[in-house]
Structure 1
C-alpha cells in the first residue's frame, strides 16, 4: 500500500467468489443421506479438528478449526465425514475453468475462493455484476453447488461484499458506497484483521471502521507497525493491491492428529516423518522450495506451541527438511504431557524464477475506465 492513492491508477472491477461451506456441501451433494443434516468434515467424534461445517451444523455454533469433541457437545447429532481432498481439488479446478472463460487475472486464495479482475474481461461485458451472476449460475449448473460473490472496485471491499449475503448471495459495493460501508462495520469483520489485532484495536478504543478512520497514520504505525498503513487506507475504502494470478503460496504445511497421545521422542519422530514427506511431495510437484521450517505441537490439553528455524538458502531435499524438523522436535522433549497433534510447515517459499535470480515480471498496462459495477 503506497503512502497515498494514485489518482492516475485505473479503477478496477474486482469480484471475490467464495464457495458456500465448500467441503461439507460437496459431501452433501455426493451423499443424499447427508442433505439437510449437520455435517462436519474432518477429525472424528473423539479427536481431531473440524475442517468444515455445513450450514445446518453452523446453526449450533460448530465452526472450522473447532476441536471435534467441542463440536460434538454443541451438536450431538453432528455427522462426521472424512475429507476427500482429491474430490475437492477436482471441483476447484472445474470452477477455476469457469473463471478462466472471463479473465486470466485469477488469484486463488484456497480451493474454495478466489479474486477475479474483470476490468478488461474476455467477453467484453461492461458490468462486473453481470459477470458475477453468470459465474454463480454456471457454478450451480455445472457443479450443483452454490457460491457467494462480492463485487467492488478493490480486493478488500470485494472480500467484505462476498460475506454480506451468504449463502448463495451477491452484494455490490460501489465507489460511492465504499467509505460509508467500511465506517459502519466492526473492525473484527475486516479481512486482514484477526481476533488478536481486533482485540488490541478495541483496547485502543477502535471498535468500528469509523473509529479506525479517526486515528492518524502515525498513531496506527506506532501501534501496528507496517500494517498501520494498510489499516489507515482500508478505513477509507482504499486498497491498491492488484489481483496476482501468479501469486506463490506463503507456506506449505501438513499436520496429523493422533488416536492416542504421544509421549516418546521416537513415536513423535515417526509422525513428523509422515507429515514432512507430505510437505516435500507438494514442493516437488510444484517445483517450489522454502527456507523456514516450522514445527507445530498441540498437547492433550490443547495448548499449542510452534518452533521455527530459517536457513540462508532454500532447503534442498526431504532429508534436510526432516532433519531440521527433528531438531526442533528434540527441543520439546522430554515432554511434560502427551502430544495430540504434530505439524510441519515450510515457508519463505520460492519458485524456480526466484531461485535463478529472474526477477523480471510482465507489467500489463491498464487504462482508466468508467466503472460499471
Structure 2
C-alpha cells in the first residue's frame, strides 16, 4: 500500500497504515493499494461560485453565502456553511432564506465565474492534454501520458490542487480511479478540498449498499421507477440480466448494467463538434402549474448557459422541448438576431415560449422539459 502526503508531496511505497506523513508529519495523507496505478481523475471545484465570491470579498469568507436570484428565484449554489443549514441547489430562494436567514445573498456573475473556470482549466491542460470538461468548474483528466513520462499521477494531482489553491484562490476536490464513473463518485467522498481513491479491488463492495441515485444518469424520475420495482440499492440491480435492464430502462439499461458493476468504458475526450447544447429533465410528477414549470425552465437555462460557456460557444436558435402527460413531444423555437450564451437571455426566450404554449393549451400537463441552443455558425 502506497501513501501520498498532500502537503509535502512525498510518495512512500509499501507503507503500513498511518495517519501522518513520515517525512513532514502532516495528517493530509492518502493511502491506497492501487495508488501507483490509477490514472483517471475527476476534479470538481468546491462550491465554485460561492468560493469565487468569498475569494474576492474577504469580509464574507466565514459567512454562509448563497448564489441565486431574487425572492422568487432559485438557489444556483451555496457554500458549505449554508449547506449545513439545509440550503441546496435549485431550492426556491424564499425557502433558502428561511433555513439560513443570516446568509449573504449574491446574484450570479457568470462572466467572473467563466474567467476563473478557464484559469483553473489552464492548469488542468498544463498537466495533461487529455481533459474533458463537464461544466465550468469540473472535468475528467486522463493521466496515462503523465504516468508514461515516469511521473506519479496521484502526486501530480496533489500538486495541481496546491497550484489552484495558491494561484487561483479556491480549492478543488480530486477523485482518482480507473474509470469515469468511479472517479466522479470518488471526487464527492471527501469534500471540500478532498482527495479520494476508488480502486478495482473495492469497487463492487463499495457500490453494493449505495443508493441507486449515486449512479450517473439515475435522476429522481428513474430512481422513483426503480423504487416502485423494489430497487433502492445498487447491488439489487445486479440481479437483473442485461436484456431485462434494457426492457425496463431502454438504451440506458445497457450502460446501467455496466455501471452497477463498477464498469465504465467511456474514454476521456473533448468534443467541440457539437451542433447543439441542451439540457432536459423529467419531472417527479406531471404538472400544469406555470410557476412550477417556469422555475424548472430557469434551472435548465442556467445549466445550458454553463455548458455553452464551458465549450466557449454562443448560439442564435433557442428551443424549448415539452413532453406532455400523453407522451406527445412539442418543440418551440426562436431565432435571435445575435449569438448568446447568457443565462438570462436563454431563460427570457424559453419563458416566453412556455407562456405562449400555455396560452394555446392552458389545461395541458407536462412530464418533461428541455432547453436547447443551436446556430453556432
Q: TM-score, normalised by structure 1?
A: 0.70
* Residue of structure 2 in register with 1:111 after alignment: 136
- Provide, for residues 31-50 of structure 1, a one-character-per-residue CA deviation record: whole Å limited to 9, x for no partner: 11211111111212x22111
- Provide, for residues 193-239 of structure 1, a one-character-per-residue CA deviation record: whole Å limited to 9, x for no partner: 11111121122122222111122112211110111011100111110
TM-superposed CA distance for 1:85, in Å, is: 1.2
Task: Structure 1: state its 5+ residue gaps.
Answer: 1-10, 254-261, 297-305, 338-342, 353-373
Q: Answer yes or no: is the 8 Å Cα contact 1:15–1:128 preserved in 2.
A: no
Q: How does 1:1-373 map to 2 (within 5 A)?
A: 13-44=39-70, 46-121=71-146, 124-247=149-272, 251=277, 293-294=319-320, 308-309=330-331, 318=337, 329-333=355-359, 345-347=371-373, 349=374
- 1:213 and 1:161 mapped to 2: Cα distance? 21
- Provide, for residues 95-152 of structure 1, a one-character-per-residue CA deviation record: whole Å limited to 9, x for no partner: 1111111111111111110001111138824433222211111111111211001001
Q: Alpha carbons of 1:287 and 1:63: their partners in 2 closer, same or farther (altered >3 Å)?
A: closer
- What value does the CA root-mean-square deviation take over the aligned residues? 3.7
**Secondary structure in 2 aligned to 1:17?**
strand
**Secondary structure in 2 aligned to 1:331?**
helix
* Residue of structure 2 in register with 1:364 after alignment: none
- 1:89 and 1:319 mapped to 2: Cα distance? 20
- Provide, for residues 74-97 of structure 1, a one-character-per-residue CA deviation record: whole Å limited to 9, x for no partner: 111121012111111111111111
Q: Alpha carbons of 1:223 and 1:60: their partners in 2 closer, same or farther (altered >3 Å)?
A: same
TM-superposed CA distance for 1:246, in Å, is: 2.0
Task: Structure 2: state its 5+ residue gaps.
Answer: 1-36, 280-289, 323-327, 341-345, 364-368
Q: Alpha carbons of 1:203 and 1:23: their partners in 2 closer, same or farther (altered >3 Å)?
A: same
Q: Answer yes or no: is the 8 Å Cα contact 2:130–2:142 preserved in 1.
A: yes
- Provide, for residues 126-182 of structure 1, a one-character-per-residue CA deviation record: whole Å limited to 9, x for no partner: 433222211111111111211001001110000000001111111111122222222
Q: Alpha carbons of 1:50 and 1:246: their partners in 2 closer, same or farther (altered >3 Å)?
A: same
Q: Alpha carbons of 1:130 and 1:248: their partners in 2 closer, same or farther (altered >3 Å)?
A: farther
- Provide, for residues 262-303 of structure 1, a one-character-per-residue CA deviation record: whole Å limited to 9, x for no partner: 99xxxx9xxx9xx9xx98xx79x956768871168xxxxxxx
Q: TM-score, normalised by structure 2?
A: 0.69
TM-superposed CA distance for 1:331, in Å, is: 2.7
Q: Alpha carbons of 1:69 and 1:218: their partners in 2 closer, same or farther (altered >3 Å)?
A: same
Q: Alpha carbons of 1:215 and 1:166: their partners in 2 closer, same or farther (altered >3 Å)?
A: same
TM-superposed CA distance for 1:334, in Å, is: 6.8
- 2:204 and 2:251 mapped to 1: Cα distance? 22
Q: Alpha carbons of 1:182 and 1:122: their partners in 2 closer, same or farther (altered >3 Å)?
A: closer
Deviates more, 1:55-64 or 1:82-91: 82-91
- Provide, for residues 312-365 of structure 1, a one-character-per-residue CA deviation record: whole Å limited to 9, x for no partner: xxx87649999x96666433217979xxxxx99325x5877xxxxxxxxxxxxx
**Secondary structure in 2 aligned to 1:121?**
helix
